[in-house]
Amino acid sequence: MTAFRHALRLHQSRWREANGHPSGTQPIVPRAGKPSRPVGSRLPLDYARENGANFLTPGALAAVRARTSTVEPHQTFDHQRVWADLLWSPALAFNLFGDLAADLATADRVVHHLWPDAPGTVSQVRFAHSPGRLDPAYTNNLRAFDAVFALDHGIVGVDVNYHEWAKPEIPRPENLARYREVAEQSGAFGPSPLEVLEGRSELAVMWLEHLLLLSMLQHPCRAWSWGRYVVVHPVHNSDIAASCARYRTLLADDSTFASITLEQVVDALPARDALRDRYIP
């Protein structure tokens, strides 16, 4: 993973230089009298906000401006990184799907190309979205999807990973009863998966976001009768790919879970050439 992540950092830095953008720093906003260092895979924040340089198309930029101008209840949204961090996966989500938010006919074609069994038509594309953070009717936590495709009584919740690795985490112990309830009611899991998933594991985030999707299917409002949680990752991100493969072994029914490579998604999109140049070394 180290060589892969270094390659992506270098690729983003070269893309920035080739497009004439200045280099950013760590921290993103330097503080007077505090140390900082240049980071080639970042942009200066004020420059990035003014020029929208992290975003490849007018549709992507419009989508991020719309999202950053609204606040979902209890949201945690890193405005600095979405504008200035060229490696930030939530920013990649806007570049992948921002054009589709304003063109639902194309969004529908893309979704049914990638997931042919998705029912109905796409009615909305949302970003950094949760149906209810800290809501016990869902999973009572702060998890959200990087992108969401809403269909007729269906939902595709997308988690985008670029240079990330599957960091081991521990689900909140006070929420475990709710997590067990959603998991058991779903029928998605095989025998004894909670022995793995309730402890410290690299699968924690994947499990919690999958549970969020499953809780939507179980919600009393009955707004969703079909759903799928999808993990997107570059083909050479072996860490996320291995985590997806391991997670799938814990499922008795994987119809609500899928993984797909970034390259497959990019090939289905109208801006494929710009996306390949930007994100795929």
What integer pLDDT is reported at residue 48 of this predicted model?
98
Q: Is residue 218 within 8 Å of residue 182, measured between CB atoms?
A: yes
Tokens matching residue 29? 């906003």
How many structural domains are present in the chain? 1
Distance in angstroms between the alpha carbons of the first and the last residue of the chain? 15
Confirm whether pTM is higher than 0.95. Answer: yes
Q: How far is CA 148 from CA 94, 158, 230, 239, in A?
A: 11, 6, 10, 24
The 10s digit of each residue's pLDDT in 251-276 is 999 999 999 999 999 999 999 999 99
Residue 265: CA count within 13 A, CB half-sphere:
27
CA distance 127 to 129: 5
Residue 132 belongs to domain spanning: 2-279
The 10s digit of each residue's pLDDT in 19-40 is 999 999 999 999 999 999 999 9
